[in-house]
Amino acid sequence: MSTRIQTVFAKGRPAFVAYIMGGDPDALTSQRIMNALPGAGVDIIELGFPFTDPMADGPVIEEAGIRSRKAGTTLASILDMARTFRRDDDTTPIIVMGYANPVYQMGYAAFSERAAEAGIDGAIIVDLPPEEDGPLRAEMDARGLSLIRLATPTTDAERLPKVVSGSSGFVYYVSMTGVTGAALAQGGSVAEQVTRVRDAAHLPVVVGFGVKTTERASQIAKEADGVVVGTAIVKALHEDGEEAALDLVRALADATHTAR
């Protein structure tokens, strides 16, 4: 039986993946946005959970995490968001994304069990390298959850097999060296890297960490299996409100889906 993630990539078109920071600016608004994402064209939801030391986050996501924590968001309440979402949507994959410390504090077994029960499909833990994610991956594997690894422009040919060997669902290609929302690498180099990672992993490859416009989403979607946008959506929600954020999501999703 196919997983939710596999079903998305079996559609034969580039997948649009939208990141939001759970609990930003508050629980009710964040839940409304999450619930509306599939109707706006989102294929996979990346649901961020806040952390005090977000080393890979640019200022927009970092500030969203601060707002979320001030609103009282915890990893447990992020899982509750997924549980609420699943009351009406049992098909859209949900990937939680964040840092290892909150997961470690909850306990790897408890996190994996509670995530599976809430309807989570996988996790991206940005600061947990392959050498250290074995205990978490074992707990997630036992419950049918995907631990999604990150490959970067600096992941060389010697390290790439180790990075992709433990990934499942898809591989997230970080398209630049830097924090979220920074400048994206040139299109040609991204295309070459996507091919390299895909050949090594035998998994779909999605590209994120710098896609901000419909034009760039379309360009990347011509080569990759999926496109991730986070910073632009989080910024639109904060500066312009829910409808503006969802309008942007619709435009990005359409540009991704029609790229090829």
Considering the candidates 24, 43, 46, 121, report the single residue annotated as catalytic. 46
Distance CA 203, CA 18 (A): 19
Q: Tell me, letter by letter, the H, E, C secondary structure of the chain.
A: CCCHHHHHHCCCCCEEEEEEECCCCCHHHHHHHHHHCHHHCCCEEEEECCCCCCCCCCHHHHHHHHHHHHCCCCHHHHHHHHHHHCCCCCCCCEEEEECHHHHHHHCHHHHHHHHHHHCCCEEEECCCCCCCCHHHHHHHHHCCCEECCEECCCCCCCCHHHHHHCCCCCEEEECCCCCCCCCCCCHHHHHHHHHHHHHHHCCCEEEECCCCCHHHHHHHHCCCCEEEECHHHHHHHHHHCHHHHHHHHHHHHHHHHCCC
Domains in the chain (CATH in brackets) are 4-257 (3.20.20.70)
pLDDT at 176: 65
240 carries an active-site annotation: no
* Strands of the sheet with 226-229, listed across from one edge: 146-147, 122-125, 94-98, 44-48, 15-21, 226-229, 205-208, 171-174, 150-151
**Residue 46 is among the residues annotated as catalytic for this protein:** yes
211 vs 208: CA distance, rounded Å:
6
Active-site option among 57, 62, 133, 139: 57
> E strand or H helix at 123, and its extent?
strand 122-125
Phi/psi for 26 (5° steps) reads -155, 170
- How far, in Å, CA of 18 to CA of 252, rounded? 9
3-class DSSP assignment, residue 114: helix
| pLDDT tens digit sequence for 194-241 | 999 999 999 999 999 888 999 999 999 999 999 999 999 999 999 999
Regions of the chain with pLDDT less than 70: 176-188
For residue 180, what pLDDT is reported? 47
